[in-house]
Amino acid sequence: MSLIAVKDLSVGYDGIAVETNINFKVDAGNYLCIVGENGSGKTTLMKTLLELQPPVSGEVIYGDGLTANEIGYLPQQTIVQRDFPASVTEIVLSGCQSRGSFRPFYSRDDRQRAALNMERMGITDLGKRCYRELSGGQQQRVLLARALCATEKLLLLDEPVSGLDPKVTMEMYDLIRKLNTEGVTIIMISHDITAAVRYASHILHIGSEIFFGTREEYLHSGIGGEFINREEEQ
């Protein structure tokens, strides 16, 4: 059974769809990239997968024992969030909250998990630093460590490299690929189609046309070929 199966899904706000007829599935170990133009509904779809908002119609089915609170989420960044006044350790630890019902204190297990994921992301030395003083790339590593505290199963990443310089972007993609090879299933939104087809196992392209398939199928599809050629011309 798939981790997530999406059937005839329409996503949007107040009953008004911004995208309709979305169908795809994600199996354990997949690396799905969601691409499409700005405003096509990628973030809205991701929030619907997380049950942060209801579908306009259709359904999202979780399988393999997955529940919505076992999904690690790295939201699209806003300026306000980048200015968050908490320490790195506090932010990473807060990822443990979604594991159970709310507790006022973190357990020793939580602290160990946070320390381990900070080490995995190479940010152990930053523990006491204030989040808002970090570079964009360091901040994204902190949020990845936080998301990993919530789950080892499935990470949803919304534009994780936006605003990062090319070198830090590559490092971020390498980290995400490493997590995927370690068995973490990835769903990542990106507007960078070239990077998407380099790293992903599957592509979901939304917009006026919708495509879902493996990266090879996407490369040979009309929609994939068209977008990749267009990017190369720029």
| Contact flag: residue 72 with ligand ADP (CB under 6 A) | no
Which amino acid, 107? Answer: S
Our finding on whether 100 is near ligand ADP (CB under 6 A) is no
Q: How far out from the chain centre does Cα 112 lie?
A: 24
185 binds, among Mg ion, ligand ADP, none (CB under 5 to 8 A by kind): none
Residue 41 touches ligand ADP, criterion: CB under 6 A: yes
Residues linked to residue 203 through DSSP beta bridges, in sequence order: 33, 213
DSSP code of residue 124? G
For residue 143, give the DSSP letter: H
CA 159, CA 229: separation in Å to the nearest integer?
22
122 binds ligand ADP (CB under 6 A): no
| Contact status, residue 72 vs residue 148, Cβ threshold 8 Å | yes
Distance CA(195)–CA(24), nearest Å, equals: 21
Residue from the set 10, 30, 40, 43 that interacts with Mg ion by CB under 5 A: 43
Residue 139 lies near Mg ion (rule: CB under 5 A): no
42 makes contact with ligand ADP (CB under 6 A):
yes
Position among 18, 116, 223, 228 found at the interface with ligand ADP (CB under 6 A) = 18
Q: Name the one range near ligand ADP by CB under 6 A: 42-50, 105-113, 133-141, 166-174.
A: 42-50
Binding ligand ADP (rule: CB under 6 A), the pick from 1, 13, 64, 219 is 13
The pair phi, psi for residue 50, each rounded to 5°, is -85, 0
Q: Which residues bind ligand ADP (CB under 6 A)?
A: 13, 18, 36, 38-44
